[in-house]
Amino acid sequence: MLSVGPVVRVGPKRYSIIQPQAVKTIYDLSGKYTKSSFYNAQGSDDDIFTMRDNTEQRDRRRKVAPLYSMSAMVSYEDAIDRMTTICMGKMDEFAKEKRLISIPNFMQFYAWDVIGEITFDQNFGMMKNMGDTQGIIKEIHTANNNMARLGLLPELQKPYHILEKLIFGRHPMANVIDYIMSQCQKHRDSNTGTKMKSQFDTFLRKILEQEAAHKVETKKVFDACGSNIVAGSDTTGISLSAAIYYLYQNPDKLAKLREEIDTMTSEGRISNPVTYHQAKDMPYLNAVIKETLRMHPAVGTILPRIVPKGGMTLEGYYFREGTHVGTNAWPLHYSEDVYGPDADQYRPERWLEDKSDFEYRDSMMFAFGGGLRTCIGRNIVLLEMTKFLPQIVRRIDFKFEEEKPWDLSCSFLVYPSYKCWVELRENKAQK
């Protein structure tokens, strides 16, 4: 592997750092290192992700954090199961029709339908229609691309957004905003009192209950739903696409996971579909998930922080106050110093070896950022991966397109691209 050292200057007053102790210092829980102007690229710093004031962000996060706990997430298992049933039905169609399918595109449709079901009790119909039904994916991808570019050019952010409004006359994510607002209003119109009525448990119902109890401001209901949609869609689709690719490109790893699933199914230890609590006792599945997030973290850029007043010395390097420092998960996750000489190899077994190695390597995982500003939606991604992968591995085989099996498109997020033919797997253990 190409090595350029643990500290790399990537631009004026901008450094990429993967030295472990320095990473822990920059992203500690004190919030001393605040987010940089990179996060103003969207034209707003008022949501839980882009907000740069750590004190205000901590207060807002505290109010909604219980909604993102894993104990809260498991209440959405039925929503995931409903969408997985639709997904498997589509896989049956693809196999019957012998269609060459973009798996990453379809995983995006799946992830968006799941997050719609979880948040609003209404999916987007993307799997059913095999497309971006409301133009929402396009808007999110455009926003991510803009963030990657304008984040590096803060002096252009304000004039860009002024011109954007003059030329297009509407917010660049108008479809996303309109959809969220319409869902919020629909739920308000159809529910009264502090206990909202819904056929299924949803994120919106829970946040509206907090609003009714005066624990959350009305504007924050919209912000929370927006954060939920963004945090649980593209990143999940990317992670599922990467998991499928790495598993099916490594038949020995796929066979180990299938053996675990088939054995536990035949012994009656897991159901169909697998529940989250059952999956916690599936060591190889959890190793596969962790190794996928290590090999292909969804975010592909530095998450920059500002060196505080007085400057700071990090592992022998002095950085003046105002300097932008940060970590990119990709070089960190491929560091041989952290993950061993085979860091560039997909090997889930590394997470099943020495306990002290596991704890250290796990502490350096950066797929969801780190410290005070760790991604609030991480449990959505983990829950979906935990429940979805056993279902797909049980029933489906993928045959990759040989001419162009793998490609990447990197902006703020790293989107994989590949196509497969779908084949159904015969398996006595699943019957």
Residue pair 392/425 in contact (Cβ under 8 Å)? The answer is: no
Report pLDDT digits (tens) over 4-23: 789 999 988 999 999 999 99
Residue pair 298/413 in contact (Cβ under 8 Å)? The answer is: yes
Mean pLDDT of 66-87: 94
Integer Cα distance of 153 and 201 in angstroms = 42
What was the pLDDT predicted at 187? 80
What was the pLDDT predicted at 210? 84
Mean pLDDT of 324-329: 97
Report pLDDT digits (tens) over 21-39: 999 999 998 889 999 999 8
**pTM across the whole model:** 0.93
What was the pLDDT predicted at 199? 53
> Of all residues in the chain, what percent carry a pLDDT higher than 70?
94
**Interior/surface letters 280-295, b for 16+ CB within 10 angstroms, e for the rest:** eebebbbbbbbbbbbb
What was the pLDDT predicted at 400? 95
**Mean per-residue pLDDT over the chain, rounded:** 90
153: Cα separation from own chain's centroid? 25
Report pLDDT digits (tens) over 164-215: 778 877 777 778 888 888 888 888 777 654 444 455 678 998 888 888 887 8
Is there a cis peptide before residue 273, judged by omega within 30 degrees of 0? yes
What was the pLDDT predicted at 193? 44
Report pLDDT digits (tens) over 92-108: 999 999 999 999 999 99
- Is 375 known to sit in a ligand binding site? yes
Residue pair 291/246 in contact (Cβ under 8 Å)? The answer is: yes
Q: Where are the domains of the chain?
A: 7-424
Integer Cα distance of 100 and 129 in angstroms = 17
Residue pair 285/318 in contact (Cβ under 8 Å)? The answer is: no
**Interior/surface letters 230-267, b for 16+ CB within 10 angstroms, e for the rest:** bbbbbbbbbbbbbbbbbbbebeebbebbbebbbebbee
Q: Which two tokens stand for residue 415?
A: 């989107």
What was the pLDDT predicted at 427? 58
3-state DSSP assignment of residue 16: strand
Q: β-strand 7-11 against 14-17: which pairing, if any?
A: antiparallel
> What CATH number should be reported for the domain whose range is 7-424?
1.10.630.10
Closest among 242, 349, 358, 351 to 296, alpha carbons compared: 242
The one-letter amino acid code at 58 reads R
Report pLDDT digits (tens) over 130-172: 999 988 999 888 888 888 888 888 888 888 888 877 887 777 7
69: Cα separation from own chain's centroid? 15
Q: How confident is the model at residue 50 (pLDDT cuts 50, 70, 90)?
A: confident
